[in-house]
Amino acid sequence: MLADSSTDIAPTYVEYLRCFGAHLDHSFARLEDGTDCMNAWVSEHTNGLIPCMLNSQTLAHANIVLVNALVFKAAWQKRFDRKNTLKDFPFHVSTHRTCPVEMMLLHRHEILISRDRTYTAIRLPYTSSASSQLAFIAYLPTDASSLLHTLQALRRDGPPRRFEPTKLLQFGLPKINLRVRRALSNRFVTWHIRYPEHFRAFPLVSWFNISYTVLLSCWTRTARSPQLLQRW
């Protein structure tokens, strides 16, 4: 956490942050003067993979900033074969609208699935030690729900606690490039998904690998389905 020297921070909050081993600095007359310091901290804690996260323009009208930087790299237990990726696949951004994406496919696999009134979620565990709980979770709003309702449900209830193994004839996940410098909300704009204005400060990125990823398009539930791909 960095703040300008004119900002008073409650001692109890400082102690709370120190419980997490957080770096604290409020020695800057203007917060934008600490841009290089913040980027150096981010670079150090990501092994140089994120050399620059903030700029002086972003901090020009700020008095305090909380920064967290994380680099995560792992392989899924069920890997997608590149040969099965379909280009220009119609990604459902709403009930009646689609946009072309590269769709990664798994054929005849058992997928962990959880159902809620506002969404259906899938869980793709990462290859790791047996005790690790790291997994990629993605959410598909129901036809009667929306992205906003899904985010509100996740914020209120947290991620699903129970997933059931379900055999699928075919499972599709849009291929996305996470190595971008733009905000994740801008990616939603690119995909023609309306991102709720009052959620722009929502901690989406910090939860990305464990919960809030609303990016699914098409799944097929059983091998008896007459359609090869259908929206769930």
pLDDT per residue as tens digits for the range 199-209: 343 333 333 33
The predicted structure's pLDDT at residue 113: 93
Helix, coil or strand: residue 98: strand
Pairing of strands 135-141, 119-125: antiparallel
Banded pLDDT at 190 (limits 50, 70, 90): low
Q: Which two tokens stand for residue 150?
A: 């899904």
**pTM of this prediction?**
0.56
Tokens of 207: 């939860």
**75-117 pLDDT per residue, tens:** 888 888 999 999 888 877 766 778 888 888 998 889 999 999 8
Structure tokens at 149: 């309702």
Alpha carbon distance 183, 153 (integer Å): 22
- In the structure, what pLDDT confidence band is assigned to residue 73 with cuts at 50, 70 and 90? confident
DSSP secondary-structure letter at 209? T
10-14, 15-19, 199-203, 207-211: segment of lowest average pLDDT: 207-211
Closest CA to 171 of 134, 138, 149, 207: 138
**Matching CATH number, 82-174, of 3.20.20.70, 3.20.20.80, 2.30.39.10, 2.60.120.10:** 2.30.39.10
Domain ranges, ordered by start, for the chain: 2-69+178-216, 82-174
